[in-house]
Chain A
Amino acid sequence: MKTASPFLEIGADAGPCVDVTFEGAPLRLTEGANLAAALLAAGVEVFRHTKTTGAPRAAFCMMGACFDCLVEIDGVVRQACMVEASQGLRINRPHEAEAHDDPA
C-alpha cells in the first residue's frame, strides 16, 4: 500500500511507529504524526464517501476548516487532520458501518 501512495514522506524512518487499522487493513504510522497526513502517505486515497451522493472525499484543507477528512475513530467521527496517530486506533470511513463486516 505504501509504495502506491502519491505522497512521499521524508524522514519517515525516524521515530517510533504505531499500528492502526483503516477499514480493517493494518497500517504502520509514525507515532504522533498528523493522522490525515499519515493516511495520505500510507496510500489511503478515499477517507470517506459523502452522505448525499456517495462521492469519494479525502483531506482537503489540512487545517480543521473543511471537514472533508472526516473519519470514524473508535466509533467517533473526527477530523483526521486534527488527530495524532497513536497505537491501536481503529479508523473507518464514517457512516459505512453497514457496508463492511466490522464485528463491532
Chain B
Amino acid sequence: MIRRDLVIIGAGPAGMAAAVRAADLRLSVSILDEQLRAGGQIYRDVDRAAALRGDILGKDYAHGATLTAGLRRDAIDHLPGAVVWAIEEGFRISYSQDGQGAQIAASHVLLATGALERPMPLPGWTLPGVMTAGAGQILLKQSGVLARNAALVGSGPLLYLIAAQMIRAGTPPAAMVETQGRGDIISAMRHLGGALRGWPYLLKGMMMLAEITRARVPRFTGAQGVAIEGDTKAEAVTFTSAGRSRRIVCDTVFLHHGVVPNTQAARSLGVGHSWSRAQKCFVPAVDEWGQSDIPGVFIAGDGAGIGGAKAAEHAGGLAALKIAEELGRLDPSGCMEQATPLRAALTRERAPRAFLDTAYPPCAEALAPGDSTIVCRCEEITAGDIRRYASLGCLGPNQAKAFGRAGMGPCQGRFCGLTVSALLADANGRTPDETGHFRIRPPLKPVTLGELAAMDAVAQDEAT
C-alpha cells in the first residue's frame, strides 16, 4: 500500500491550496477527488470551461485555474475520479477509481469535502425539473447547459450570481422568488461594519442586482407559502408576496437557501460536531488550524463551517502548515510566520459572513416543512412521519431509523439529515445538540462487489 505524509480528500479550493503548500514543504501528498477534473464544485471543470464560457462565468471562477495549475507537479499525486468510501484510524483510506477498489495510507488526513446545498424541502421539491441552484451552476460551468425558463427560489447571494450568469448567457430566469424579507435586511444592519470590511463582496452583490434589474427579471421578496406544482414534472411555482398570490409558470426550478458543511467523512471518523446558531447547521469541532478533536485529522474549507471559496483556500494553507509542523518539516516559528498572512486574509474573507447570514436567512418554511412535504427524498418520508415518530417517543435521528427509513437510502442522509434533526428537536422541545445527527458509517458511497474483489486481488499480490 502506498503511504503518504498527507492524504487530502477533495480537490476544491481548500484541498488544492493545501496540496500545493504541503508539497512546497516537501511532504508527500496525494489528493483524492470524486470528480474527474480538479476544481471542486465552485471551480468545477475550470480548466476546460473558463476558456469556453469565461465571459459568462466571470473572473472569480477563472481564478480557480491558478489553483488547478498548482496540482500539476510531480510532488503532488492527484487521483481524479477517486470516490472515497472508508477512512479508518491509522489512517487507511479506501476508495474506488475506474471500477477498482484501492487503498492508500497516510499519517495525516485533510478533509476538504466542501459544502452541500442546504436541503430545501418544499411541496413538490422532488419533481423532475426541480434542482438545486448549485446544480444549475454546475450545468452551466461544466456543460454549458442552461435552463430556458427557470424560476430561482430561496435566498442568498448565489441566487443573484446564477441569475446574472443566466442573463449574460441570454436565458434570463422567468422570476426570482426570494424568501428573505425586509425584516432580515434590517436585522443584518447591525453587522454592517463587517459587510463594509468585506466591501468587494458588497459591491459585487450590488452590481449583480443591478444586472438583474436591467434585464427586467421580476423579483418577488418575502415570498411565503412557496410550493412547486406539477404532475410528473415542475410546471409552476406558487407563493404569496406583498399580500398577493402569484403563480409563475416555468419548466425548471432552482432552489437555494444557503449551503452547509458536508460532514459525512468527518462524522464517519467520529469527529465531534456541534450546532452553529449563526449558520443553522452542525459544524465539526476544529481549532484555528483546522485540526479536529481526532489527532491527525484536519478539516479545511466549507466542510469546517461555511466561509466561501477564498476563505477555503487560506484555511487549506493553514492546515498544511500545521501538518508540516507536526511532521517535523517546519519549525514552530516558521509555521507562525507563514501563517500570519493567511490568517489576516482569512479574517478579511470572513468579515461579511454575519451580515450575509442575517440578511439571507434560510427559508423558514423549508426548515419546518408542512406534514405532507417529503423530507427524505430517497425513502419518501414526510415531515408528518417524523413528527409522528416524535409523538411515539422518538428522540433522535438514529432512533428514527427504527420507526421509518429516513436517512437509510443511498444519499445516506445528506439531503434529509438536518431536517430530520430539526423536526425531532422541535417536536421534543430539545436542542439540535441534544437531538444529534445520523450516525455515519462506511461505506460513505456505494461500492460494488467487483470493486471490492479487485482491491482484494491487489492486496494479495502485495502480500505474496
B232 at the interface (CB under 8 A from A): yes
Are B139 and A40 in contact (CB-based, < 8 A)? yes
Are A57 and B147 in contact (CB-based, < 8 A)? no
- Pick the contact of B414 from A6, A12, A65, A70 — CB < 8 Å? A65
Query: Which partner residue on chain A sits nearest B410 by CB separation?
Result: A67
A76 at the interface (CB under 8 A from B): yes
- Complex formed: what's the CA distance from A8 to B378 in Å? 28
Are B34 and A64 in contact (CB-based, < 8 A)? yes
Nearest CB in chain B: distance from A21 CB, A: 20
Are B414 and A62 in contact (CB-based, < 8 A)? no
- Complex formed: what's the CA distance from A45 to B380 in Å? 20
Are B135 and A70 in contact (CB-based, < 8 A)? no
- Complex formed: what's the CA distance from A56 to B252 in Å? 15
- Complex formed: what's the CA distance from A61 to B116 in Å? 9
Residues from chain B with a CB closer than 8 A to the CB of A20 are: none
Nearest CB in chain B: distance from A104 CB, A: 19
Nearest CB in chain B: distance from A34 CB, A: 5
Interface size band for B? 35 or more
Given A10-B53, A46-B232, A50-B380 in contact, is the A61-B132 Cβ separation under 8 Å? yes
Q: Secondary structure at chain A's binding surface: helix, strand, loop or mixed?
A: loop
Are A56 and B233 in contact (CB-based, < 8 A)? yes
A103 at the interface (CB under 8 A from B): no
Are B128 and A46 in contact (CB-based, < 8 A)? yes
- Pick the contact of A68 from B252, B377, B448 — CB < 8 Å? B377
Nearest CB in chain B: distance from A45 CB, A: 5
Residues from chain B with a CB closer than 8 A to the CB of A56 are: 127-128, 232-233
Q: Give the contacts of A57-88 with B (CB-CB under 8 A).
A: 57-68, 70, 76, 82, 84
- Pick the contact of B148 from A7, A12, A65 — CB < 8 Å? A7
- Complex formed: what's the CA distance from A68 to B117 in Å? 14
B262 at the interface (CB under 8 A from A): yes
Nearest CB in chain A: distance from B57 CB, A: 12
Nearest CB in chain A: distance from B405 CB, A: 9
Are B126 and A57 in contact (CB-based, < 8 A)? yes
Residues from chain A with a CB closer than 8 A to the CB of B146 are: 7-10
B218 at the interface (CB under 8 A from A): no
Nearest CB in chain A: distance from B41 CB, A: 5
Are B171 and A8 in contact (CB-based, < 8 A)? yes
Are A60 and B131 in contact (CB-based, < 8 A)? yes
Nearest CB in chain A: distance from B62 CB, A: 17
- Complex formed: what's the CA distance from A12 to B144 in Å? 8
- Complex formed: what's the CA distance from A62 to B448 in Å? 21
B338 at the interface (CB under 8 A from A): no
Residues from chain B with a CB closer than 8 A to the CB of A84 are: 36
Known: A12-B144, A65-B414. 9 other contacts (CB 8 A): A9-B144, A10-B53, A11-B144, A33-B143, A56-B127, A58-B129, A60-B131, A60-B132, A63-B116
Instruction: Identify 21 residue pairs between A and B in the complex whose beta-carbon atoms are under 8 Å apart, listed by A's number.
Output: A6-B252, A7-B146, A7-B147, A7-B148, A8-B145, A8-B147, A11-B52, A12-B144, A37-B143, A37-B145, A40-B139, A45-B128, A45-B233, A50-B380, A53-B380, A57-B128, A58-B129, A60-B130, A61-B132, A61-B415, A66-B414
